[in-house]
Structure 1
Amino acid sequence: MIVSTRSRNKLKLVAASALQSSGDQTVGASTVLPWLFHALGVPAALIGLLVPIRESGSMLPQAFLTPLVVRVRQRKWVFVAGALVQAAAVATMALTAALGRGLAAGVVLIAALAVFAFGRCLCSISSKDVQGRTVPKGERGRINGMATTAAGLVAITLGLAIRWLGGDLGGPQLAWLLALGAALWVLAASVYAVIDEPVDEEAGDAAASGAYWLRRTGALLRDDRDFRHFVGVRSFLLVSALSPPFVVTLSVQSGSSGLAGLGGFVIASGVAALLGGRLFGRWADRSSRRLMSVGAGGASAVVVAVVIITALPGFRGDEPLGTALFIGSYFLLTLLHTGVRVGRKTYVVDMAEGDLRTTYVAVSNSAMGIILLVVGAISSALAAVAIPWALLFLAALGVVGVFAGARLPEVSRV
């Protein structure tokens, strides 16, 4: 019976994670939403707020929400609440896409994205804890990998459908896409609600008080050397997350149009997820820290290669070889980022047990929210001078991450 329950839980976790990841594809802050802003005539200045609000908005509140989360005896209900919040936010975006226009539509979409990020925050806090309680060590990386693979299949299908509809999508068409995303989050909440999670009889103890939590947060970063090291390494892994948009911008500046279509972006990320999910899931179970290091090093190598090749005399992005370079590098960076994400998630789940795992997730994500804003500001300032400088800065971070990640303790082996 125990084996049967584990098997059912694994299937439910994969299904819920795949539904959530698929929903993410319909509201991409670097693909779908900028396209929607352009279609609705939203001022370009607001586009720069999309990625910071989505990413930092889902990370920064986590440490402050943890006192509430640890009071809940079954953390799956926190995920269900977060998924429904995301569904409501995306439904608001869909309605705005169908009826809105101009600055007013942009403001509503930004506000809805902030609410969406809050729901994403709740899901992030709770999902790793639920996985840690219901799936034994040695199998968690494969859960993350299978979910990523399933989401990749959906992304490829979605991207092909978008390309079939045509590249000149307007608000009404994207409204249907967003409505699909809202439905996917409702389904994710429904699946998560029936996961057989053990009840935490010790939930709601002194660790849930606000003052105690703030002291514990400071103490973790100050005294827990391994955890502090993990947060530091995670900040160097941003090369795979932040460089793809700059590669796309560089391709446009070089005259290439191969990545201009929304469908092409979605297909590239879907293929990367499809190929990387299962491969990196098994790798993460063997050594999640090594996977993070290899991902950072590989992303840095791709970025440096792009900068060098595009600087060669006579290089043209509108020629077949130039277009292939940008498409290939974008795909590789997305593939490597899939590995980094699977490794990072598996590492933090494996390095602790119980409420300490929840604490690790929340504190590391809150710290990363701040670090993301700082690194994003620096790379954006460098990009204002020249895109290659921003890419080289991110590549340098990745190189440091290779050596720093190699010094992390091994936690993923059973």
Structure 2
Amino acid sequence: MSVTRDSGADRPQESLFARIAGEDGIDPTEARNGLRHVASLSLTKVADGLIDPKLVLSWLLTALAVPSALVGMLVPIREAGALLPQVFLADRAQRMARRKWMWVAGSAVQGLAALAIAAAGRLLDGLAAGVAICAALAVLALARAACSVSYKDVLGKTIGETRRGAVTGLAGSVASAGVVIFALLLISGLMQEMTPVLIAIALAGVFWLGAAALFSTIEEAASEDRDGADVTAFREILGDGGLRWFILVRGLLVSTALAPPYLVLLAQQGGDALLGQLGALVLASAAASFLSSYVWGRLSDKSSRLVLALSGAAAALSLAAALVFAWVGLIGAVWAAPLALFGLMVAYHGVRQARSVWLVDYAPADSRAAYAAVANTAIGLILLAVGAAGGALSMLSPAVAVAGFAALALFGGMLALRLPEAEEG
């Protein structure tokens, strides 16, 4: 890792970042970078919550009378589209002297795509709106792939090993406050009209543009190794046994991301209204992020594989609780579905924190972008397969799909215990 050092005094920022990281004597340059990481990530995480395809965009397309087939395409476009292109983007990232510029470009394009989605929702309806919004979401997903493939490398170069989880964890907790407000508006009934939802989506676009501007100010040292990552290099990376095991574990734990819509289906069977479910899911996710992201981040700095194991167990327990609520007829109660959703989202944010920290610490310093690209491309393929399997199981019953995801989460958590304890490469 190469963290730029300087002798300048910037005590207020250094002191603030020291409190965030729980360490003293942090270099002023790293302190400035750390605060910029936190601010940029917080903006993008709020934007993610405001434009969540599983919830917000699904509600929007339904309100616009878009055919259900296009509504069903939202999550695959967003999730797989953000992962599959990374193996191709990694070559470009590794040729760049300063990889932050790929993240800046990706965040800016996400902002423009979000504004396009808001405009389509205002100007179009029916099939035309669905096609336009799905196309803009595809662009947003590709831009997100660029951010993902470059971010871990920038984080590794600019933030010390024992402080990376604190940076990403605090950003998750800070961002969740804004999403909580959005969720409360949904629950209150003030967001039943389409205009406030479109404003929220447009605000997400503004936040992504602001994050791009902030991230451009990060002080990143030029990379000495600027050779592209060719196909042979990717094959060699896949020969890394630790990485293959990580891909298997992370692939099983995608169940924490795919299960929430099926919990909503369970609750709807209990009689809850659509907007109540939307607000409850958004609030559960935001509250879980606020209460757990920083804690998960700090724990990941100590043992990211243990966090993955705990997260898998927590997800399985939460999904099992939802099944019990459904079995005894309580899933429609005002507290039951949000409680199960909260536990699942705590587990989901644990997986998100730990998988990022593990990969940054495990991958060789000069190959982080390539390792991230290989892992994420593989996960994109697994996500499509697991998502299709979940859809097939849901045709039998939402409860069957929830049980399947619970089994995958539990198995993934158990296998995480066999991961090597990652140390900075």
After TM superposition, is the score higher than 0.5? Answer: yes
Question: Matched residue pairs, number?
Answer: 401
Asked if residue 323 in structure 1 is aligned to residue 346 in structure 2, the reply is: no
Asked if residue 214 in structure 1 is aligned to residue 231 in structure 2, the reply is: yes
CA contact (8 A) 1:303 1:391 kept: yes
Q: Give 1:80 shift.
A: 0.5
Give matches, 1:301-312, under 5 Å. Answer: 301-312=317-328
SS in 1 for 2:82: helix
Partner residue of 2:268? 252
CA contact (8 A) 1:144 1:342 kept: yes
**Equivalents in 2 of 1:387, 1:303: separation in Å?**
12
Partner residue of 1:110? 134
SS in 2 for 1:323: coil
Partner residue of 2:170? 146
**Equivalents in 2 of 1:335, 1:359: separation in Å?**
29
Partner residue of 1:187? 210
Q: Give 1:219 shift.
A: 2.6
Change (3 A) 1:261 1:298: closer
Q: Give 1:268 shift.
A: 1.9
Give matches, 1:121-132, under 5 Å. Answer: 121-132=145-156
Partner residue of 1:66? 90
Q: Decide which of 335, 341, 359 is 2:352's aligned counterpart.
A: 341
Q: Give 1:396 shift.
A: 1.3
One-letter code aligned to 1:305: A
Asked if residue 227 in structure 1 is aligned to residue 250 in structure 2, the reply is: no
Q: TM-score, normalised by structure 2?
A: 0.91
One-letter code aligned to 2:128: A
**Equivalents in 2 of 1:261, 1:378: separation in Å?**
23
**Equivalents in 1 of 2:394, 2:64: separation in Å?**
27
- Higher mean C-alpha deviation, range 40-49 or range 371-380: 40-49
CA contact (8 A) 1:296 1:399 kept: yes
Q: TM-score, normalised by structure 1?
A: 0.93
Q: Give 1:349 shift.
A: 0.7
Partner residue of 1:32? 56
Q: Give 1:169 shift.
A: 2.4
CA contact (8 A) 2:77 2:138 kept: yes
CA contact (8 A) 1:239 1:296 kept: no
Q: Give 1:236 shift.
A: 1.2
**5+ residue gaps, structure 1:** none
One-letter code aligned to 1:233: V
Asked if residue 403 in structure 1 is aligned to residue 420 in structure 2, the reply is: no
Q: Give 1:413 shift.
A: 8.5
One-letter code aligned to 1:354: A
CA contact (8 A) 1:259 1:327 kept: no
CA contact (8 A) 1:248 1:259 kept: no
Q: Decide which of 51, 60, 70 is 1:46's aligned counterpart.
A: 70
**5+ residue gaps, structure 2:** 1-5, 8-26
CA contact (8 A) 2:114 2:204 kept: yes
One-letter code aligned to 1:214: V
Over 6 Å off, 4+ runs: none
Change (3 A) 1:218 1:120: same
Change (3 A) 1:137 1:406: same
Q: Give 1:284 shift.
A: 0.6
One-letter code aligned to 1:190: A
Asked if residue 361 in structure 1 is aligned to residue 372 in structure 2, the reply is: yes
CA contact (8 A) 1:299 1:398 kept: yes
Partner residue of 1:384? 395
**Equivalents in 2 of 1:113, 1:239: separation in Å?**
22
Q: Give 1:395 shift.
A: 1.3
**Equivalents in 1 of 2:258, 2:278: separation in Å?**
18
Asked if residue 200 in structure 1 is aligned to residue 217 in structure 2, the reply is: no
Change (3 A) 1:39 1:259: closer
**Equivalents in 1 of 2:124, 2:274: separation in Å?**
30
Q: Give 1:161 shift.
A: 3.6
Q: Decide which of 69, 75, 80 is 2:104's aligned counterpart.
A: 80
Q: Give 1:165 shift.
A: 5.8
Q: Decide which of 370, 393, 403 is 2:404's aligned counterpart.
A: 393
**Equivalents in 1 of 2:92, 2:378: separation in Å?**
19
Asked if residue 282 in structure 1 is aligned to residue 293 in structure 2, the reply is: no
Change (3 A) 1:6 1:164: same
Q: Give 1:316 shift.
A: 4.4
Q: Deviations over 1:361-406 (max 9, x none)?
A: 1000000000000011111101111111111111111121122100
One-letter code aligned to 1:189: A
Q: Give 1:351 shift.
A: 0.5
Q: Decide which of 151, 155, 173 is 2:196's aligned counterpart.
A: 173
CA contact (8 A) 1:6 1:134 kept: yes
**Equivalents in 2 of 1:151, 1:118: separation in Å?**
23
Q: Give 1:253 shift.
A: 1.3
**Equivalents in 1 of 2:277, 2:393: separation in Å?**
26
CA contact (8 A) 1:289 1:405 kept: yes
Q: Give 1:263 shift.
A: 3.3
Q: Give 1:164 shift.
A: 4.7
One-letter code aligned to 2:400: W
Q: Deviations over 1:294-338 (max 9, x none)?
A: 1011101111222133123xx1444xxx33111100111111111
